[in-house]
């Protein structure tokens, strides 16, 4: 494990700083598929939603509502991701989890 912590703690830490911590763990962790999956899922999920929130925030009125909904969704994914990873579960988010599962072993530097 990259930091020498238990894998469930490292898995939960993948979500701590949203996509940034996901990227950090993708770069640090080379061997543990559990941690790499959660890192990739965090990276893909939160970077995608963050970009969508930025795009929608530029639209008057409806964009503010959509951005608020995206932020709520990010909060839910953040909490669920950390809890599931801490409990040693490979829980896949809708849409993003399938993408993460497909690519978490292909992102090796």
Is the distance from CB of 61 to CB of 79 less than 8 angstroms? no
Per-residue DSSP letter, 91: P
Q: What is the DSSP letter of 92?
A: P
> Terminus-to-terminus CA distance in the chain, angstroms?
16
**What is the predicted pLDDT for the residue at 109?**
58
Q: How far apart are CA 11 and CA 37, in angstroms?
A: 9
Q: 0.85 exceeded by the pTM? A: yes
Per-domain boundaries in the chain: 7-103
Q: What share of the chain in percent tops pLDDT 70?
A: 95
List pLDDT tens digits, range 74-93. 999 999 999 999 999 999 99
* 18, 42 contact by CB (below 8 A): yes
C-alpha distance from residue 5 to each of 57, 65, 83 (Å): 38, 40, 16
């Amino acid at each position: 494990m990259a930091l020498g912590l238990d894998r469930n703690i490292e898995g939960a830490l993948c979500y701590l700083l949203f996509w940034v911590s996901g990227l950090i763990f993708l770069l640090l962790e080379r061997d543990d598929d559990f941690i790499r999956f959660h890192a990739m899922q965090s990276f893909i999920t939160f970077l995608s939603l963050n970009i969508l929130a930025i795009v929608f925030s530029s639209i008057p009125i409806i964009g503010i509502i959509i951005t608020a909904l995206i932020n709520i969704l990010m909060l839910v994914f953040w909490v669920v991701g950390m809890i599931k990873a801490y409990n040693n579960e490979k829980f896949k988010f809708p849409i993003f989890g399938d993408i993460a599962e497909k690519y978490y072993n292909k992102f090796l530097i």
